[in-house]
Amino acid sequence: MVDRRTSERGFSLTELMMVIALAGTLAAISVPILTNVTDSTKLNTAAREVERELQTARLKAVTVNRDLRVRTNCPATGFFRTVEVIGDSGTDDASDRCLESAYPFPARDSDLMTRPNFDGPVHPLLNGATVTSANIEFRPDGTAYSVVSGTPQTIAEPVTITITRNGTTRTVTVNGAGKVQIQ
């Protein structure tokens, strides 16, 4: 005769409830960790966007042999744009300089004698990140200048641009030689 208790297979209700409780505990522990990782990833992505725009502007200034400026918080907080330096401080620093309606991307014509021809699109800083205001000018030789009140100034100490998201920050620095780094 076969003993029924030893031949039955499966889990008891107690064992099943313990496994569910353990899985719930592990899930509760991992959610904040995953949230922190997601926030960090979004901040890093925003910092890389700014760094990439600066690198691209420097390369383009050298390639097209024109002075280009990267302006943050342009035309509003959380946006940035690369614009060609026209040479008129009143125009170069005008608030509408960042508006694609006034200075479209791509340019209305392809005549290299008319300016600006190398303005880029307006980029939003994604993921709810903000950036400090900066105006960095890259010259055709690859060097960088900080533009203050419309006047390019030599960068003696690296210029720091701070990107913030949910109280956490990352910085991008630009030195006078045009080197751009995420810190």
Q: Say if CB 128 and CB 165 are below 8 A apart.
A: yes
Give the Cα separation of 173 and 158 in Å (integer).
6
pLDDT of residue 74: 87
**N- to C-terminal Cα distance for the chain?**
76
pLDDT of residue 2: 57
Q: Read off φ and ψ for residue 159, nearest 5 degrees.
A: -80, 135
> Domain extents for the chain?
13-182
pLDDT of residue 96: 81
Q: Say if CB 101 and CB 26 are below 8 A apart.
A: no
Q: Read off φ and ψ for residue 136, nearest 5 degrees.
A: -110, 130
pLDDT of residue 87: 79
Q: Say if CB 146 and CB 160 are below 8 A apart.
A: no
H/E element holding 174?
strand 168-174
Q: Which residues contact 63 (CB under 8 A, 6 or more apart)?
A: none
In terms of pTM, does the model score above 0.75?
Answer: yes
Name the CATH topology of 13-182. minor pseudopilin epsh fold (3.55.40)
Beta-ladder partners of 145: 137, 154
pLDDT of residue 4: 59
Task: Map tokens 């109280």 to a residue.
Answer: 167
pLDDT tens for the chain, 183 residues long, are 555 565 567 888 888 889 999 988 888 887 777 666 677 888 999 999 999 999 999 999 999 999 999 999 988 889 999 999 987 666 777 778 888 888 888 877 776 666 688 888 999 998 889 999 999 999 999 999 999 988 899 999 999 999 999 889 999 999 999 999 998
pLDDT of residue 90: 67
pLDDT of residue 83: 92
